Structure formats: structure tokens, C-alpha cells
């Protein structure tokens, strides 16, 4: 794989950023307009786990079409001409927004959480687990709505993997123990995200992967009202249920979470709800702690499924 290839019809404008698997460019296309173009990093040739991660993102995201999932326009998963074309979200990431704005207004926080939950619910409906739900993987459209993205660690529900995949700040206890990812483990990560969005603080912190593992397995997070006294107690209870250490005590589906959360907060699930837009700046969270704690391992399967679907869809 090489980042030198540019798919026909696209003109690179400038570099937006980079991740473990790819360089992300702002690009222009005659029909599609401004897009985000992901090109795999050259070192993926020597790093099969990261290569499969990129392949995984391409094959999964091309099958997802929902207003709360970052739209994917085109892509090819493997080889020297691998690429992925995504919707460009000018608001940046939810992580950047929180870093820039600090504590968000409650109503805005509620709405963003609902948006993320809707994107996650849809992916589960399409039999896809995300396995890395966190603010850095949530992107903000110009309207202010939130969209779930970065499915590089995604996995089909029909697959089985005991890899400890995800970011340790948001991983469910059972994943640390080596169990398979489930809908409930994604719900746990959603609960951690909701806690952080509404309080500005992560419920579990640590300077290493092992420290975070122990925090998730045996620690007790502070009541979110400790950080935000104005947060209704019942909302805190909803978040606590999503974050329950025992998977059986969590919401058993994202739909169940959405119903209870919207009823408790008084927020409509309608797509016509008003938006509060805050453009995220260029500032980034200090990643030293994240880098130590991520512990990423990933497995991508089913390229045959991707090629079969591509042929049928063409």
C-alpha cells in the first residue's frame, strides 16, 4: 500500500490529519464536491494488523448508509490502489469540540449523545459492532449534528474475536477479560462517551493500559453530578446503567438506551430538533496518555464478502 496513489477524479487540496492507518486529505471531486480522502500509510505494507484495519474500514463503511454515520462515497480495500472517500465534516471531531468549548450546554450534549446513539443503533441493525466508540471517532457536520465514524475496528456480529480491541478509556470490562465484543460492550462505550460529554471528565483514568484495566474492572466512577451539579439525577442514573460493570445489567440494545435517555432528558428523537453549532478548532487533546492506554489489536475478515457485495452493487 502507498499513499502516493490518488484515485482518478480527485484533486488533493491539503492534509487534514493522519491516523494509525492512513493520511486524511481534504480533496475535491467534480461531482461530489469537497470530500475527505483517506490514503493508507506506506508502512502498512510491513504492518499486517494495521493493513487489515484499513481494509476493514473500507469494507464495512461502504455498507452503511445513515444520516448519523459518516457517509462513504467510494473506496477499495487493498493493494496499491487502496483508498476511501468519505463525507467531509467541517465541524471536526466531538473530542476537539469538547477541548475547545469545555463544558457543553446540557441540551447540546443530550442531542449529540442521541445522534451518536442513533448511528450506533443503525450499525447494530446492519449487524456491525463498532468496538471503539469514543469522542475522537464522532464527527460534526456543518449543521451541528454528530456522525459516528472510523469503523477500522468494526466487526460483523456473525464473527468471533477475542482480541482486546478499542481504546482503553472506553473499553468494557469483559473486553479487558478477553471476551468477545457484543452489543452490550458497545453500549458500555456509549455510556462512557455520554459521561464525558456531560461532565467534561472521563469516568476512568490511568497512566497505562494495566491501570485503566483495573479501573474498569474494579473502580467506581464519581457520580457525574460531582462534576456537574446541574445534571439531573435521573440522567446520571441512565448513564450509570449504560456503564454497568455487569453486561446483563446494562441496556440490552442501543434502542432501549435511546428510549430511556430521550424520555429522561425530555429530548425528542425527531430529526427536526434544533441544533447548536460550535465549530471545533485545530487544538488536539494531549495524546500521550491515550497512546499508552490504547492497546489496539484488530482483526478484519471477509474480504470475499466485500468483493461479492461490490460486484452485486455495481
pLDDT in tens, 20-30: 899 999 999 98
| pLDDT for the residue numbered 230 | 95
d(CA 158, CA 181): 11
The residues near 23 (Cβ < 8 Å, ≥ 6 apart) are 3, 15, 17, 38, 39, 41
The residues near 209 (Cβ < 8 Å, ≥ 6 apart) are 168, 292, 293, 294, 295
Residues of the chain with CATH 1.10.510.10: 94-293
d(CA 158, CA 189): 20
Q: What is the CATH number of domain 10-88?
A: 3.30.200.20
| pLDDT for the residue numbered 237 | 97
Residues of the chain with CATH 3.30.200.20: 10-88
Fold for the domain defined by 94-293: Transferase(Phosphotransferase); domain 1 (1.10.510)
Q: Are 36 and 25 in contact (CB under 8 A)?
A: yes
| pLDDT for the residue numbered 271 | 62
Helix %, strand %, coil % of the chain (to 5):
40, 15, 45
The residues near 259 (Cβ < 8 Å, ≥ 6 apart) are none
C-alpha torsion 254→50→314→138, nearest 10:
40
Percent of the chain exceeding pLDDT 70 equals: 85
The residues near 223 (Cβ < 8 Å, ≥ 6 apart) are 236
pLDDT digits (tens, 9 = 90+) for 127-174: 999 999 999 999 999 889 999 999 989 999 988 776 778 999 999 999
Among the listed residues 131, 243, 122, the one whose alpha carbon sits nearest the alpha carbon of residue 180: 131
Among the listed residues 89, 155, 153, 87, the one whose alpha carbon sits nearest the alpha carbon of residue 126: 155
Euclidean distance between the first and the last CA atom of the chain, given in angstroms as a whole number: 24
Distance of CA 306 to the CA centre of its chain: 21
Residues of the chain with pLDDT under 50: 1-2, 273-314
* Residues classed as catalytic: 132
9 Rama sector, left if φ>0, alpha if ψ -120 to 50, beta otherwise = left
Amino acid at each position: 500500500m502507498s499513499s502516493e496513489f490518488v484515485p482518478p477524479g480527485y484533486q488533493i487540496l491539503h492534509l487534514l490529519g493522519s491516523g494509525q492507518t492512513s493520511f486524511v486529505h481534504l480533496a475535491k471531486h467534480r461531482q461530489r464536491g469537497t470530500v475527505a480522502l483517506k490514503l493508507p500509510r506506506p508502512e502498512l505494507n510491513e504492518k499486517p494488523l494495521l493493513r487489515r484495519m484499513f481494509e476493514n474500514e473500507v469494507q464495512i463503511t461502504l455498507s452503511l448508509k445513515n444520516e448519523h454515520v459518516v457517509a462513504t462515497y467510494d473506496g477499495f480495500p487493498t493493494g496499491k490502489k487502496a483508498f476511501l472517500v468519505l463525507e467531509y465534516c467541517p465541524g471536526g471531531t466531538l473530542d476537539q469540540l469538547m477541548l475547545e468549548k469545555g463544558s457543553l450546554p446540557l441540551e447540546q450534549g443530550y442531542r449529540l449523545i442521541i445522534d451518536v446513539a442513533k448511528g450506533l443503533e443503525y450499525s447494530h441493525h446492519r449487524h456491525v459492532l463498532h468496538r471503539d466508540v469514543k469522542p475522537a471517532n464522532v464527527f460534526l457536520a456543518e449543521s451541528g449534528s454528530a456522525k459516528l465514524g472510523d469503523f477500522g475496528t468494526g466487526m460483523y456480529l456473525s464473527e468471533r474475536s477475542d482480541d482486546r480491541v478499542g481504546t482503553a478509556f472506553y473499553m468494557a470490562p469483559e473486553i479487558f477479560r478477553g471476551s468477545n465484543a457484543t452489543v452490550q460492550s458497545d453500549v458500555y462505550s456509549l455510556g462512557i462517551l455520554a459521561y464525558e460529554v456531560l461532565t467534561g471528565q472521563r469516568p476512568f483514568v490511568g497512566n497505562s493500559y494495566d491501570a485503566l484495566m483495573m479501573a474498569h474492572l474494579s473502580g467506581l466512577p464519581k457520580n457525574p453530578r460531582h462534576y456537574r451539579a446541574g445534571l439531573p439525577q435521573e440522567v446520571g442514573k441512565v448513564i450509570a446503567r449504560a456503564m454497568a460493570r455487569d453486561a446483563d445489567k446494562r441496556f440490552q440494545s442501543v434502542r432501549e438506551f435511546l428510549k430511556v435517555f430521550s424520555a429522561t432528558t425530555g429530548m425528542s428523537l425527531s430529526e427536526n430538533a434544533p441544533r447548536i453549532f460550535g465549530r471545533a478548532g485545530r487544538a488536539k487533546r494531549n495524546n500521550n496518555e491515550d497512546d499508552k492506554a490504547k492497546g489496539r489489536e484488530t482483526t478484519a475478515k471477509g474480504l470475499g464478502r466485500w468483493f461479492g457485495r461490490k460486484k452485486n452493487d455495481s
